[in-house]
Amino acid sequence: MHNKDNVTERVLRISGVNARRCMKCGKCSASCPSYDEMEYHPHQFVYMVESGDVEPLLNSRSIYKCLTCFACVDRCPRGVEPVKLVEAIRLEVIREQGANHLRADDVPAKIDEDVPQQLLVSAFRKYAK
Amino acid sequence: MKVSYFPGCTLKTTAKELDAYTRASAKALGVTLEEIENWQCCGGVFTTANDEIATKLSSIRALTEANAKEQPLVSVCSACHNVIKQTNRAMQTDADFAFRVNNYMRMQSDTYTEYHGEARVMHFLELLRDEIGFDKVAAAVKNSLKGKKIAAYYGCLLLRPGKTMQMDDVENPRIIEDLIRALGAEPVIYASRNECCGGYVALDSPDSAAKQSRKVLDGAISAGADLIVTACPLCRYNLIKNGKSDIPVVYFTELLAEALGVKETEDAQ
Ligand code: SF4
Ligand code: SF4
C-alpha cells in the first residue's frame, strides 16, 4: 500500500515546483510529444497536484509515458516545469518497495542486439529504484 | 588545447565509432582529450527530484576532476552532456543540494575541495564552434562533403532545458547546420529536428517510441535529406530501428572525420 500521508506536500517539495504559478494555458500539454499516450496530460498534473488530487496520478500509466524531453519546461510561459511533477509522482510510486515498473528479468525479452547501453541505464533510472 | 573528456558507457560498447571518430577528429584539429580517470556511467537521464544525490555523483566526480585540472569537461554523447550540465547547474543554483553533495564528497576524501559548479561543461559541438571555430574546421577539411543534403537531428537532450543547456536557440537551433556547412554539405531544415525520438520509452512502449521516431524520419525525408546526423546513440538506435533502411543515420563525428580525412586512420579504429 502506498504511504499516502503528505504525498502532495512531498511531491511539491522534491520537485521544487510552485504549481500556483500555472495560469492554465495548456501550452505544456500542446507541446507534449506523449500527449496521445497519456491519460492525464502535463497541465493536469499541475492542476491536480495543486488541488491535492494526486491519487489518480499515482495509479495512472501516464507516469511511464513521459519522455523527460523538457518540451513542457521550455514552452511554459510561467516557468512551472511540469515534468518535475510527473517525475516526482513516478518516484512516489517506484520508491515503494516492490513497485518497480521494470524488472531485470523482463529485459532480455525486450531487447535486440543493437540496443545501446544508454537505453538500459535510462530505462532503469526512470522505471526502477 | 587540452580538455577533460567524459566518453560514457555507450561510447565504450555499442557506439565505439562515436568515440573513435571524436578522438580522431579532435587530434586532427589539435585538441587533446584527456579521459577522466575511473569515470562512471552518468545514468543516461537526469533525475529532476532535488532530494536525490546518489544518481548525480558520477557527474560530480567528473566535474570536480576537470575543475581541479582547470580544464573544461567535454562529452560527445547528448545524454552524458545533458546529465552533467544539469547536475552542474544544480550545484550552482541549489544551495541545499550543493551542501549535501559537498558533505558527502568530503567524507570520501580528505583532499576534496568544496565545489559549486565552477567547471565549464561543453559538448564537443560547442568545442568545435566556440573554441576551435567553424571557420578553422572548414579550413581543415580535406574531403569536402559537397553535394550531400544532410538533416541535423537535435532531439531533446542537446538543447533542453534551454536555460541550463545554453547551447543554442531551443526552437531554431543552427549549431549542427553550421557544422554541416563548414564541411561543405548542405543542411536540410525540417520541423521535427528538435522533437524527441521516443528515448527510453522504446523499452516499455516500443509503439509509442516508433511513432515519435517516424515523425522525425518522415520530416527529414520529405525535406529531401540524403542522410540524418545525430550526437546521441539512443536517437540513432530509435531512428534506425524505425526507419528500416529508408535513410542512413550517422554520428556527426563520422562526417567530421570523413571530411577531415581521418576516417580511415588508425586513430579512428
Ligand atoms: S517532459 Fe514529459 S510531460 Fe513534458 S513534454 Fe516531454 S514527454 Fe511531455
Ligand atoms: S504551460 Fe505552464 S502555465 Fe501553461 S498550463 Fe502548462 S504549466 Fe500551466
Q: pLDDT digits over A51-65, tens only?
A: 999 999 999 999 999
Cα–Cα distance for residue pair A126/B262, rounded to 1 Å: 38
Same domain for A68 and A12:
yes
Query: Cα distance from B21 to chain A (closest Cα, Å)?
Result: 18
B88 reaches A (C-beta below 8 A): no
Per-residue model confidence (pLDDT) at position A2: 55
Same domain for A91 and A29:
yes
Cα–Cα distance for residue pair B45/A123, rounded to 1 Å: 9
Binary contact (A71, B160; C-beta < 8 A): yes
Q: Residue A33: is the preceding peptide bond cis (ω within 30°)? A: no
Checking if the pLDDT of A5 tops 90, the result is: no
Question: Does the CB atom of residue A19 touch ligand 2 within 6 A?
Answer: no
Provide the ipTM. Answer: 0.94
Cα–Cα distance for residue pair B85/B79, rounded to 1 Å: 10
pLDDT digits over B67-117, tens only?
999 999 999 999 999 999 999 999 999 999 999 999 999 999 899 999 999
**Domain span holding position A128:** 101-129
Same domain for A105 and A92:
no
Mind giving me the DSSP string for B96-163? HHHHHHHHHHHHH-TT----SS-S-EEEHHHIIIIII-HHHHHHT-SS--TT-EEEE--TTTTT-SHH
Cα–Cα distance for residue pair A97/A117, rounded to 1 Å: 26
Number of the ligand closest to the Cα of A31: 1
In chain A, residues with a C-beta closer than 8 Å to the C-beta of B15 are 116
In chain B, residues with a C-beta closer than 8 Å to the C-beta of A116 are 10, 13-15, 233-234, 236-237
H or E element: which one contains B32? strand B32-35
Question: Does the CB atom of residue A60 touch ligand 1 within 6 A?
Answer: no
Question: Does the CB atom of residue A100 touch ligand 1 within 6 A?
Answer: no
Within chain B, residue ranges assigned H as helices are: 16-28, 57-68, 78-93, 95-108, 124-126, 134-139, 162-165, 175-182, 201-204, 206-222, 233-243, 252-259
Query: Which residues does residue A18 pair with via DSSP β-bridges, in sequence order?
Result: none
Same domain for A107 and A50:
no
**Residue B148 identity (one-letter amino acid):** K
Residue of B nearest to A12 (CA): B49
Number of A/B CB contacts below 8 angstroms equals: 127
| Mean per-residue pLDDT over chain B, rounded | 96
Residue of A nearest to B155 (CA): A69
Per-residue model confidence (pLDDT) at position B266: 74
Checking if the pLDDT of B149 tops 60, the result is: yes
Among A33-47, B98-112, B204-218, B254-268, the range scoring the smallest mean pLDDT is B254-268
Checking if the pLDDT of B267 tops 90, the result is: no
Q: Residue A14: which CATH number?
A: 1.10.1060.10
Grade residue B261 by pLDDT with cuts at 50, 70 and 90: very high
Same domain for A85 and A26:
yes
Give the total number of structural domains in chain A.
2
B57 reaches A (C-beta below 8 A): no
Task: Please give the span between the terminal C-alpha atoms of chain A, in angstroms, as a whole number.
Answer: 17
Share of chain B above pLDDT 70, in %: 100
Residue B166 — left, alpha, or beta (φ > 0 → left; ψ -120 to 50 → alpha)? left
Binary contact (A71, B202; C-beta < 8 A): no
Provide mean pLDDT across the span B110-134.
Answer: 97
Query: Which residue in B10, B49, B161 is closest to A15 by CB distance?
Result: B49
Cα–Cα distance for residue pair B76/B70, rounded to 1 Å: 19
Set out the domains of chain B in order of their start, with CATH numbers: 2-123 (1.20.1050.140), 134-268 (3.40.50.11810)
What torsion, rounded to 10 degrees, do the Cα atoms A117, A122, A123, A127 define? 150
Provide mean pLDDT across the span A67-89.
Answer: 98
Same domain for A124 and A75:
no
Query: Which residue in A15, A69, A114 is closest to B14 by CB distance?
Result: A114
pLDDT digits over B31-54, tens only?
999 999 999 999 999 999 999 999
Number of Cβ within 10 Å of residue B245's Cβ equals 6
Checking if the pLDDT of A4 tops 70, the result is: no
Same domain for A116 and A89:
no
Binary contact (B237, A122; C-beta < 8 A): no
Same domain for A51 and A12:
yes
Same domain for A107 and A77:
no
pLDDT digits over A16-29, tens only?
999 999 999 999 99
Provide mean pLDDT across the span A96-100.
Answer: 90
Same domain for A82 and A70:
yes
Same domain for A125 and A81:
no
Per-residue model confidence (pLDDT) at position A97: 87
Same domain for A86 and A107:
no
Checking if the pLDDT of A1 tops 50, the result is: no
Checking if the pLDDT of B118 tops 90, the result is: yes
